[in-house]
Amino acid sequence: MPNVGFVRDEVRRRLPQYELIRDCLAGEHQVKFRKTRYLPMPSAEDTSKENVSRYDTYLARAMFFGMAEQTLSGFVGQIFMREPTAKVPAILKAVVDDATGSGVPLKQQAMAAASHGLAYGRLGLYVDYPVTNIVAADGTDEEQPATIADIEAGDVRPTIRVIEPWDCLNYRVKARGAKVILSLVVFREDRIIDDDGFETKTKDQWRVLRLDENDEYVIEIYHARSGPQPAERYEPRDASGKRLTEIPFTFVGSINNEATPNPPPMYQLCSINIHHYMNSADYEESVFIVGQPTLAAAGLTEEWVTKVLKGRLAMGARGGIPLPVGASIELLQAQPNTIAKEAMDKKEDQMIAIGAKFRRPDQVQRTATESDIDNVSETSVLSKVAQNVASGFKWALEWCAVFVGAPETGIDYDMNTEFDLVNLTPEEQNAIVAAWKAEALTFEEMRDALRRGGLATVPDAKAKSDIEAARADMTELEIDKEGRLTEATTPPKPAPAAE
């Protein structure tokens, strides 16, 4: 029987890495839920109740420092520090506002995609389009594409789904002339098998996107991992009703958007994060066991302890400890054991170093021209992922246009790819504006420089119109006799006429 749940070898080798990254990004609760998966039990061969209880306290005291989660959140925030821009025909505005059909806008889909690209180095973008059934003259149902009226009313629209990397199980490619295209994609998804209005129960199902023997696109849904026939089968069509000859699915990666899985950029960082957690468990255990001062007395007889001390040693300002001749008492304090702490500190430095490389790779001495910001942006992981995600969503929007019959030309999706310019100093800001006033820079060039420095945020056209409107509404001010700023009492003098 066909094994629709087969996992391609390239994907299978990445799954353990995806699992570690996923658990690490989920935070302390998930990492501790895994117990010995990430925190081995001391004396694991001892299965006694006492040793199991000791492990539970060992686990509870361990601290998981979510460095990887914070790093990823910061990187995604940097990419979306500036709003992405989508250029689409008016008929696709509904897709930008609601890319999934469930209220998730395109920007949030792009944020999820960027997060997956940075963490796992892989995700899938799947463009789907509902069909409508009409009753033919012979009484049978026929699949028909939605009408323009349906699309404009928002009743039906193409949707863009982000497919998790661990769900993209299998794929195949084929050459068509000079172009390599996908001929098969299989991914796992949830199927609701029971819903009582409050609780839903789900099972796995497998969605198969393939080109059939006629090189035409079909969708097959399998409810079992292996079986001779799919439970459902569809033949998607474009706006004119023609069968599609390509699969509307693309992979997005950290290096390129090819089908082969790219290395997960955050695997090394997450691995160090887990080992930092292991060191933390040892450190907290040692602090608990030997961290508290311990009173030690020598030379006491049993009679002295019972009759004089009454079985107690009273310490502090209101206490005193009578001792017999030759006896001594001292406070024992364990010397600090810094090995575990030093190991934690070392791993924190390593995580910080790896996080820095996401933004700017290590470089040898370079000239000023070679160190130009554009060159750095093109070679950094952060910029590459942003470029790949933007390219993937541009491709997805073009497929949406195919489904609704809109022109594909002119569609674009642009995301921020520049992260390494430091905030401009006041002197640098003044120099840029002065260069514009001296007509050494155009308005757009001046705005672009300020935008890269994190100052200009609105589009140039809106900035120009807002500046002109503000200038027109500006009221002339003067300082009164008491030194207060007030509106002018006389109308402003008209500007001199141009000669």
**Within the chain, what is the greatest distance between any pair of CA atoms?**
117
Structure tokens at 266: 């955050």
Q: Which tens digits make up the pLDDT trace of 430-466?
A: 888 888 888 888 988 888 888 777 677 777 888 888 8
At residue 333, the pLDDT reads 67
236-168-386-260 Cα dihedral, nearest 10 degrees: -100
Structure tokens at 332: 């024992």
Section 221-238 average pLDDT: 87
At residue 374, the pLDDT reads 44
* DSSP secondary structure code for residue 304 in this structure: I
> Higher pLDDT residue, 131 or 162?
162
- Which helix (H) or strand (E) segment is 477 a member of? strand 477-479
Predicted TM-score (pTM) of the model is 0.74
Q: For residue 248, what pLDDT band results from cuts at 50, 70 and 90?
A: very high
Q: Of 27, 254, 4, 304, which is closest to residue 119 (Cα–Cα)?
A: 254
> Higher pLDDT residue, 176 or 1?
176
Section 103-117 average pLDDT: 96
* Positive/negative CA dihedral, 390, 391, 392, 397: positive
Query: From CA 201, how far away is CA 478, in angstroms rounded?
Result: 73
At residue 311, the pLDDT reads 77
Section 328-344 average pLDDT: 71
Q: Which tens digits make up the pLDDT trace of 75-86?
A: 898 899 888 999
Q: For residue 367, what pLDDT band results from cuts at 50, 70 and 90?
A: very low
At residue 426, the pLDDT reads 79
pLDDT at residue 486 tops 80: no
> Higher pLDDT residue, 265 or 226?
265
Domain locations in the chain as residue ranges: 292-333, 421-491
The angle subtended at Cα 117 by Cα 251 and Cα 254, nearest 5°, is 75
Query: From CA 188, how far away is CA 161, in angstroms rounded?
Result: 13
pLDDT at residue 394 tops 50: yes
Structure tokens at 226: 């292996």
Q: Exposed, middle or buried by CB within 10 Å (0-12, 13-18, 19+), for 317?
A: exposed
